[in-house]
């Protein structure tokens, strides 16, 4: 029986994965065969397309521009400074959640005036550093944090530009672990508490109250929750202004999801239209802070098949990538489309369950019908791995942090070297004992 070609590039998705094509049968990232990258850096590795990063930013920025919306990339999605530099060079701002991310955003060439500091647990040190650097805005998530920001600003003799992050109690209709604005969520300040807190803060000379922020969750495919949340924010802006309070900016958050072979993904024009209809007429400086949408489809994780063995329902293909490299399937039951690097092969189309070497049953990427026949040594590309892949990886089971590579046209280069056990052992050199008491 001749195999059909179930893993040919998904041409339905040309605007998103157009950088992945098959040339002479082999899978290429832009004009670079991924097998050549595998030879150069070894597997597993991440590869990103510079063209896809740039195209994604251009498409999103153009879609929202008519509504006076700037785009800030959520650094947590892909914090490699070379990826950040691609965006920074285009004028993209950054949304950060730690001092480490601030260092990365600045190192990538982002001006402080384009950096927003989000996050529910900023430390005193991080807040002081942000104020000293002169970031655009600090999104404050509690009354307690507001006190710390005010104290730091006073000590430094500065005015802190503050927005309050609101919890509008909206279900983002996404995976429960990545929804962030339901009533019981740790994020944001309950909408009912915002007017009093905002008024109190606006009366403090060390705080410059610039506006509000909201972020309802991640991998959002149904746009209705955005409409609900932003309509609630518009209501709140009107309430604050009616009380004579200044509201100049509104941070609409990230969360725009990406489709896959079974879902086309949200429509950018519709996303922009909802912004216009909910908050467009309020004379606000708006921004969005997408992570996944800008970089998720611009990256693949390439892994080698180590062993095949029979299993219940589907045969196992044990691969050299694991949950420490890409933890989304284990953490959120996420499914990443997979394409073999080799050309279609004769033989029965078979389902394989792709699993990694880690000693956890959740080290399982799921069952993939129509992949086979596979053989040991085959290379597989997990698509849509450009967001929350390398950024969330760990060294569990004392595995290496794997290389990251950036492809640009017919060239590629290493943008993060493999970090192996030798480096880890150096960090574990024991320090001197300290005597307590």
Ligand X SMILES: Cc1ncc(COP(=O)(O)O)c(C=O)c1O
Ligand Y SMILES: N[C@@H](CCCC[NH3+])C(=O)O
- Residues marked as catalytic: 359
Question: Does 292 participate in binding ligand X (rule CB under 6 A)?
Answer: yes
Question: Does 178 participate in binding ligand Y (rule CB under 6 A)?
Answer: yes
The CA distance from 271 to 266, in Å, is: 7
* Binding mask of the shown chain, residues 49 to 78, with x at each position contacting ligand Y by CB under 6 A: ---------------------------x--
Instruction: Compute the half-sphere exposure of residue 366: CA atoms within 13 Å on the CB side of its CA.
Output: 16
From residue 286, give the alpha-carbon distance in Å to each of 109, 130, 151.
22, 21, 28
* Residue 72 touches which member of ligand X, ligand Y, none, C-beta under 5-8 Å by kind: none
Question: Does 161 participate in binding ligand X (rule CB under 6 A)?
Answer: no
Residue whose CB is less far from ligand X, 118 or 303: 118
Residue whose CB is less far from ligand Y, 169 or 315: 169
Question: Does 328 participate in binding ligand X (rule CB under 6 A)?
Answer: no
Residue whose CB is less far from ligand Y, 163 or 327: 327
Has 360 been labeled as part of a binding site?
A: yes
* Residue 253 touches which member of ligand Y, ligand X, none, C-beta under 5-8 Å by kind: ligand X
Which of 99, 225, 266, 291 is the binder for ligand X (CB under 6 A)? 291
Question: Does 104 participate in binding ligand Y (rule CB under 6 A)?
Answer: no
In the bound complex, what is the minimum distance in angstroms from residue 98's beta carbon to ligand X?
Answer: 12
In the bound complex, what is the minimum distance in angstroms from residue 215's beta carbon to ligand X?
Answer: 4
Q: Which residues pair with 417 in a beta bridge?
A: none
* Residue 295 touches which member of ligand Y, ligand X, none, C-beta under 5-8 Å by kind: none
Residues 6+ apart with CB under 8 A from 427: none
* Residue 328 touches which member of ligand X, ligand Y, none, C-beta under 5-8 Å by kind: ligand Y
Has 54 been labeled as part of a binding site?
A: no
From residue 343, give the alpha-carbon distance in Å to each of 39, 49, 316, 380.
18, 21, 21, 11
Which of 13, 17, 86, 95 is the binder for ligand X (CB under 6 A)? 95
Question: Does 275 participate in binding ligand X (rule CB under 6 A)?
Answer: no
Question: Does 219 participate in binding ligand Y (rule CB under 6 A)?
Answer: yes
* Binding mask of the shown chain, residues 382 to 401, with x at each position contacting ligand X by CB under 6 A: -----x--------------
In the bound complex, what is the minimum distance in angstroms from residue 330's beta carbon to ligand Y?
Answer: 11
From residue 289, give the alpha-carbon distance in Å to each of 20, 255, 342, 356, 365.
26, 8, 37, 33, 28
Has 132 been labeled as part of a binding site?
A: no
Nearest to 365 by CA among 384, 349, 378, 348: 384
Count CB neighbours of 11 within 10 A. 9
In the bound complex, what is the minimum distance in angstroms from residue 218's beta carbon to ligand Y?
Answer: 4
* Binding mask of the shown chain, residues 61 to 90, with x at each position contacting ligand X by CB under 6 A: -------------x--x-------------
Residue whose CB is less far from ligand Y, 280 or 329: 329
Which of 9, 253, 386, 403 is the binder for ligand X (CB under 6 A)? 253
Question: Does 142 participate in binding ligand Y (rule CB under 6 A)?
Answer: no
| Ramachandran category for residue 421: left, alpha or beta (phi over 0 → left; psi -120 to 50 → alpha) | alpha
Has 292 been labeled as part of a binding site?
A: yes
The CA distance from 299 to 265, in Å, is: 17
Ranges within 376-395 binding ligand Y (CB under 6 A)? 388
Residues 6+ apart with CB under 8 A from 146: 140, 162, 164, 197, 201, 207
Count CB neighbours of 209 within 10 A. 25
Residue whose CB is less far from ligand Y, 174 or 303: 174
Residues 6+ apart with CB under 8 A from 211: 163, 237, 247, 248, 249, 250, 251, 284, 285
The CA distance from 352 to 372, in Å, is: 7
Q: Which stretch binds ligand X (CB under 6 A): 10-18, 291-299, 400-408, 410-418?
A: 291-299
Question: Does 211 participate in binding ligand X (rule CB under 6 A)?
Answer: no
Q: Binding site residues, as ranges?
A: 255, 289-292, 328, 332, 360, 388
Q: Binding site residues for pyridoxal 5'-phosphate, as ranges?
A: 255, 289-292, 388
Q: Binding site residues for substrate, as ranges?
A: 292, 328, 332, 360, 388
For binding to ligand X (CB under 6 A), which residues are involved?
A: 74, 77, 95, 118, 215, 218-219, 253-256, 289-293, 387
For binding to ligand Y (CB under 6 A), which residues are involved?
A: 76, 178, 218-219, 328, 332, 388
């Amino acid at each position: 029986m001749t195999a059909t070609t179930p893993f040919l590039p998904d041409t339905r998705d040309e605007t998103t994965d157009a950088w992945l094509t098959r040339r002479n049968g082999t899978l290429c990232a832009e004009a670079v065969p991924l097998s050549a990258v595998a030879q150069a850096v070894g597997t597993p590795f991440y590869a990103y397309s510079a063209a896809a990063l740039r195209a994604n930013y251009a498409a999103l920025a153009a879609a929202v521009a008519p509504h006076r919306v700037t785009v800030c990339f959520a650094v947590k999605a892909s914090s490699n400074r070379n990826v950040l530099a691609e965006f920074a060079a285009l004028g993209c701002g950054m949304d950060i959640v730690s001092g480490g991310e601030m260092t990365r955003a600045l190192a990538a060439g982002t001006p402080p005036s384009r950096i927003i500091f989000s996050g529910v647990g900023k430390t005193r040190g991080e807040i002081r550093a942000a104020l000293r650097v002169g970031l655009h805005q600090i999104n404050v998530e509690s009354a307690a944090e507001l006190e710390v920001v005010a104290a730091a600003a006073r000590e430094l003799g500065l005015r802190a530009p503050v927005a309050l992050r609101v919890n509008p109690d909206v279900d983002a209709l996404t995976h429960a672990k990545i929804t962030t604005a339901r009533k019981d969520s740790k994020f944001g300040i309950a909408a009912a508490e915002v007017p009093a807190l905002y008024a109190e803060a606006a009366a403090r000379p060390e705080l410059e109250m610039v506006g509000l922020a909201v972020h309802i969750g991640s991998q959002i495919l149904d746009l209705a929750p955005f409409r609900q949340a932003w309509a609630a924010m518009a209501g709140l802006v009107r309430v604050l202004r009616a009380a004579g309070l200044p509201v100049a900016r509104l941070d609409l958050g990230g969360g725009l999801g990406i489709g896959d072979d079974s879902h086309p993904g949200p429509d950018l024009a519709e996303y922009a239209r909802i912004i216009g209809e909910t908050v467009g007429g309020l004379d606000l400086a708006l921004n969005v802070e997408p992570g996944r949408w800008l970089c998720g489809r611009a990256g693949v994780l390439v892994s080698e098949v180590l062993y095949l063995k029979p299993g219940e329902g589907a045969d196992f293909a044990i691969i050299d990538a694991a949950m420490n490299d890409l933890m989304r399937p284990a953490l959120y039951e996420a499914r990443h489309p997979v394409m073999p690097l080799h050309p279609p092969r004769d033989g029965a189309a078979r389902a394989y369950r792709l699993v990694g070497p880690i000693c956890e049953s959740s080290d399982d990427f799921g069952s993939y019908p129509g992949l086979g026949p596979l053989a040991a040594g085959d290379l597989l590309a997990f698509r849509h791995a450009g967001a929350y892949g390398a950024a969330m990886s760990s060294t569990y089971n004392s595995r290496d942090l794997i290389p990251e590579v950036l492809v640009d046209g017919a060239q590629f280069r290493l943008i993060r070297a493999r970090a192996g056990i030798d480096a880890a052992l150096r960090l574990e050199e024991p320090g001197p004992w300290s005597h307590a008491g």
